[in-house]
Structure 1
Amino acid sequence: MRLRRYRSPEDASATYAVFHAAVRISAAECYDPDQIDAWAGPDLDDLTAWDAKRASAFTLVGEDADGVAGFADLLPDGLIDMLFVHPRLGGRGAARHLLEAIIAEARQRGMGSLTTHASRRARPVFERLGFVLVEDRPNNTVRGVVVPNAEMRLLLEQSLGDAVADQRDR
């Protein structure tokens, strides 16, 4: 998978399609249908707001031979707001590849830490890259439906080995 910066507005439709497929198919292994419906939200006909959010963040897009295969957003405050991979690439390292590039960008920007609100589906990839649990969020609510996730943090000044050891100590 080749990584590149998000291109506005031409990537809006493809990244939205990846988000939708990842939530509807991949995340369905970890959440019930009502939770999936709330998380996915109504189908968007107008992607202007979606595009604006991707364009205002540091958004990386992953492409394979079939087109856009995943994307990740890094906000200026160190929040990884989005990390989604098309189900056709699930379990093949695509999320890890995107996340490693986001971490490298954050280090280059001199950020001290990164945070995320990881879904049950995404949590393992964050853990493998040294993110530690800050707080389980069993009552996280999306559109009036409880969709549990976990607040996680990575301290960038410590090595990956130290972060993994800290995680084991918890």
Structure 2
Amino acid sequence: MPITLRQATHGDLPEMKELYVGTITTVCTNDYTPEQVAIWASSAQKAQRWIDLIDHQLVLIAQKDNNIVGFCSLDKNVYIDFMYVHKDYQHQGIAKTLLLAIEDKARNTGTSTITSDISKTARPFFERKGYKVIKEQINIRQGIEIINYKMSKDINPE
């Protein structure tokens, strides 16, 4: 069955959070320590953050066989806030499908540059899709350093 895209609802939040934690705690373990992974995944417990995500951002769900297999969000038409693909559905074109859809949505609002804060794990994927590293960032969460990259892409080259 093919992947379908749709806008997320509050009812999707439990499955989205489960996917988020499952992806971080399995896919990202080669790039981050167990302590970093635990701190990162713990942000799924910030209930208001997730409610605000649905209320204030464009959130696209990738669905297959009535299961959420990925999701991506666009904040203020210029910033990719979330991009996660289910741990069991990696390398199947889901992230590419979500990214192209989000870029199209941004482009249709007149946005010319899109940015995101990208994990070490996701950096190669985003680089293959034309994103460039602006700078390496060190985030301190609960006293622990977690490195990611500010990246951007010109989505309206002319």
Give TM-score, length-normalised by structure 1. 0.85
2:43, 2:58 → 1: CA distance? 25
Instruction: Return the alpha-carbon distance in structure 2 between the equivalents of residues 76 and 43 of structure 1.
Output: 22
Two-structure CA RMSD over aligned residues (Å): 1.7
The reply to whether residue 131 of structure 1 matches residue 123 of structure 2 is no
Change (3 A) 1:135 1:65: same
> Equivalences for 1:101-120 in 2 at 5 Å?
101-120=101-120
Matched, 1:2 2:7: no
Distance 2:126 2:88 in 1: 20
CA distance in 2, matches of 1:140, 1:38: 11
**Larger relative strand fraction:** 2
The count of aligned residue pairs is: 156
**Alpha-carbon separation, structure 2, partners of 1:5 and 1:142:** 30
Q: TM-score, normalised by structure 2?
A: 0.91
Contact persistence 1:13–1:47 (CA under 8 A): no
Whole-Å separation in 2 of the counterparts to 1:50 and 1:3: 19
Pick closer, same or farther for the CA change 1:59–1:153 going to 2, 3 Å.
Answer: same
Counterpart CA distance in 1 for 2:152 and 2:44 is 31
SS at match of 1:102: helix
Question: How far apart are the structure 2 equivalents of 1:83 and 1:52?
Answer: 16
Q: Which runs of 4+ in 1 moved over 6 A?
A: none
Note the 1:130-149 alignment, pairs <5 A.
130-137=130-137, 139-149=138-148
* Contact kept in structure 2, 1:22 and 1:85, CA below 8 Å: yes
| Percent of aligned pairs sharing the same letter | 25
Q: Which residues of structure 1 form unaligned runs of 5+?
A: 160-170
Is residue 2:33 matched to residue 1:32?
yes
SS class of match (1:146): strand
